[in-house]
Amino acid sequence: MDTADHAQTVIEQRLADNLEAQRRKSQQSAGRESATECEECGAPIPELRRLASPGCRYCIACQQALETHQKQYNR
């Protein structure tokens, strides 16, 4: 029966896709570098802030605004 073989192939392909997605995810979180400039307003992000919060992409003002917005959104 070809059907069983095909189903097996699909399952294996899905597993491979999942593994690939997980691998990419972990690489992203592990190798995330802080931005030198705020993605929101373009202001330079202080070196201390970049060291304090690895992977940060916004200046303090924008980060706070975003967090406030997210809290309101989740409510």
Residues that bind Zn ion (CB under 5 A): 38, 40-41, 43, 59, 62
CA pair distance 37, 17, nearest whole angstrom = 34
For residue 68, the minimal CB distance to Zn ion (Å) is: 14
- Beta carbon nearer to Zn ion, 53 or 62: 62
CA pair distance 23, 58, nearest whole angstrom = 26
- Beta carbon nearer to Zn ion, 10 or 43: 43
- Beta carbon nearer to Zn ion, 34 or 40: 40
CA pair distance 8, 63, nearest whole angstrom = 46
Q: Which tokens belong to 74?
A: 């989740």
For residue 63, the minimal CB distance to Zn ion (Å) is: 8
